[in-house]
Amino acid sequence: MPAAPDRVIRPAILRRLLAMSYEILLMSGVVAVLMIAPHVLIGAFAHRLATPAILWAHLFLVLLVYFIWFWSNGGQTLAMKTWRIRLLTKEGLPVRPAQALLRFLLCWPSLVLGGVGIMWALIDRDGQFLHDRIAGTQLVTA
């Protein structure tokens, strides 16, 4: 049974940042292995190297599938399980795939624009990241 939104325990910002750092560490190995696929396939069939555009698109798709799958199936990535953090809707329900996609797409500008979406948590009344506030999601202690 989902917890009431006003009774959830939200993880501290430092804990969320450490979980993000651990996620980067875990995903580095996964991405390193999966980035071989475009080179092998294009090399085998077209006898050329994969272009940077193809590699960036492949990286984006790998990350998209990883995060959407884990967020919409249990609400936790591998790093989130380790740090006991779960993603829920603002109502305390499991995240739907469309909502996970929205959060994923909003994470990028939140991080790329100097981390403004992360720093937003310092002034947000609930301590949420900007992309969580817009997507209607929240991170809670599992």
| Positive or negative torsion for Cα 17, 121, 116, 30 | positive
Give per-residue pLDDT as tens, 19-33. Answer: 999 999 999 998 988
Q: Among residues of the chain, what percentage have pLDDT more than 70? A: 96
- Average pLDDT (111-115) is 92
Would you tell me how many other CB atoms lie within 10 Å of the CB of residue 115? 12
E strands, 61-141, in order: 85-89, 137-141
Per the document, the length of the chain is 142
pLDDT of residue 66: 96
Q: What CA–CA distance (Å, rounded) separates 111 from 81?
A: 22
| Averaged confidence pLDDT in the chain | 91
- pTM (2 decimals)? 0.87
Render pLDDT for 55-80 as a digit per residue (tens, 0 to 9): 899 899 999 999 999 999 999 999 99
- The more confident residue out of 115 and 38 is 115
Residue 63 to residue 87: CA distance in whole angstroms:
17
Which residues, 6+ apart, have CB-to-CB distance to 108 below 8 Å? none
pLDDT 10s digits, 33-46: 888 888 888 888 88
The pLDDT assigned to 4 comes to 52
